Amino acid sequence: MLALEAAGVRFGATVALHPTDLALTEGATLALIGPSGSGKSTLLRLLVGLVEPSEGRVTFGGAPLPRASEPGGARRLADLRRRLGFVVQGGGLFPHLSAFDNAALLARRSGWSEARVAERVSELAELVHLTPAELGRPPARLSGGQRQRVALMRALMLEPEVLLLDEPLGALDPLIRAELQDELAALFARLRRTVVLVTHDLAEAAHLAQDLVLLAEGRVRQRGSLTDLVGAPADEFVTRFLRAWRPPKALLDAWQEGPG
């Protein structure tokens, strides 16, 4: 499974992520939370190989993740990414392609037959609740929630072992966001895949994930369930972060019981 081993990232004199150890739990959902600039997206990009560690290493199945800068590394990294599903902020759909073609893109590049592509797209469309008519539309003619569903289909197309989501619901209005949070929670439970998601929203993280990792200034400040963070905050920053959320107590009690 994916893991960081004292992996850190520097951009010149700026430290985006201090040396960090982090191992994923197979089949569980982990949420990376924290304020802007805390290192959440950098950590996620390390896991998928879009950023190379300045120190330490990233491993997958116990082997170091290939570096694109190494001889043959780009090809080996591309092969490995077929085992990882990645949803970028905003979905990253191609505007000139239909929803169907966006979802099918990676499978076609992997040499799948059109019959196999059509079967898999149909299966995923049923999973994320998209109709054949919606699959025929370009992204501009889809709602924000529908575009996020298509991005999720594309990430799941090759049946990845790990699903990585960078603010998957960040740009949606509250009602659509709440609906998709429920759908994602049910989907994660059904798929039983290892999932890592980045979110600014503590309530969303607690709803979707069993395991929370709170970052600040490029460091992990605490890891655990929401109950762990609330009941035994590691430091003053954790306490201040939780207080800034200010949820109604009834909702907090419900979320402490776990996702879903």
State the DSSP string of 46-63.
HHHTSS--SEEEEEETTE
pLDDT digit string (tens) for 54-84?
Answer: 999 999 988 888 888 888 888 888 888 888 9
Please report which confidence band the pLDDT of residue 254 belongs to, taking 50, 70 and 90 as the band edges: low
Q: What own/partner pairs with CB < 8 Å and gap ≥ 24 does 60-69 have?
A: 60/1, 60/2, 60/3, 61/1
Half-sphere exposure of 200 (CA within 13 A, CB side): 9
Query: What does the DSSP assignment read for 88-115?
Result: -TT----TTS-HHHHHHHHHHHTT--HH
CA-nearest of 218, 214, 223 to 19 is 218
CATH code for the domain defined by 2-83+161-256: 3.40.50.300
Over 80: is that where the pLDDT of 21 sits? yes
What per-residue confidence (pLDDT) applies to 170?
73
Q: How far is CA 106 from CA 8, 68, 121, in A?
A: 30, 19, 12
Residue 260 has pLDDT above 60, yes or no: no
Share above pLDDT 70 across residues of the chain, in percent, rounded to a whole number: 94
Tokens 């979905």, located at residue: 91
Strand partners, 196: 30, 164
Domain edges within the chain: 2-83+161-256, 92-159
pLDDT level of residue 145 (50, 70, 90 thresholds): confident
Q: What is the pTM of this model?
A: 0.87
Assign 228 a pLDDT band (cuts: 50, 70, 90): very high
pLDDT digits (tens, 9 = 90+) for 164-192: 999 888 767 778 788 888 888 888 888 88
